[in-house]
Each structure stands twice: as structure tokens, then as C-alpha cells.
Amino acid sequence: MANATLVEVAELMRKHNIGFLPVITAGVLVGVVTERDIVVRGLGEGRNPYTTLVRSVMSTTPVCCYDDDVLTDAADILTNNHVRRFVVVDDNNNLCGLLSLDDLAAHMSSDRLLTGVIRELSAA
């Protein structure tokens, strides 16, 4: 995925109706790429989307949580890092999944905590 072009990744995002992808190389999480990365770091800098590789625009230090973290910890991670989605890894740092603000909204029992997270992210 790190060697895919911006066009290839954008097509994959369109096909799956997503705006965020983990970037895995040789089974290891090496970064994440978002729609914003493609637009701001790619197109916004005048790069050719047909030849520019994902590795040149991706975020190389992805925000993560562990698969056994509780949702309140995940909410803190979202808030403290001012992100709306991040990757979930296991104890060996293998990718397990993705978690988003929408996921938290669907599964958190504390409306007060969720409101605080949304307020904090909206201010960022």
C-alpha cells in the first residue's frame, strides 16, 4: 500500500466509501493515509496524483489504541490527539481494526463523556 499511487488509494477509498486507510508493509503498520493527506500533502503541494506514492503523503506515526483498551481510554486518545479515527492493534502491534468517533457514539453509554469528546474535537 505504501507504494500505491494517490489515485489508486483514492479509488480504493471511493470504492469502499471510506476516508482513512492503514498502510501496511510486510505485515507491519507503517502509517495511515487520509483523504486530507491526499488533498493537502499531495494535490495541495502540486504533486502528480498518478505518480506520487502514498508513502510520501501518509502520516508515519499513526495514533493507536490496543484491542483490550476500554472505550473511555479510546475517547481520551481521540481527544488528546485531536483525531476522529485511529487504528487498533494487539499486543504485538498487529493491526486489528479501526475505531472512529462514530463507533464511539454508537457504543458508549455515557452521553456526557461523548458530548465532551465531540466538543473537544470540534474545537480542534
Backbone angles phi, psi at 113, to 5 degrees: -65, -45
Q: Pairing state of beta strands 28-34 and 20-25?
A: antiparallel
Residues of the chain with CATH 3.10.580.10: 1-62, 63-124
pTM: 0.76
CATH of 1-62, one of 3.10.580.10, 1.10.357.10, 3.30.70.260, 3.30.360.10: 3.10.580.10
pLDDT in tens, 63-110: 999 999 888 888 888 888 988 888 999 888 888 889 888 887 777 665
Query: In this structure, what DSSP letter does residue 31 have?
Result: E
pLDDT digits (tens, 9 = 90+) for 37-48: 999 999 999 999
Type of residue at 77: I
Fold type of domain 63-124:
CBS-domain (3.10.580)
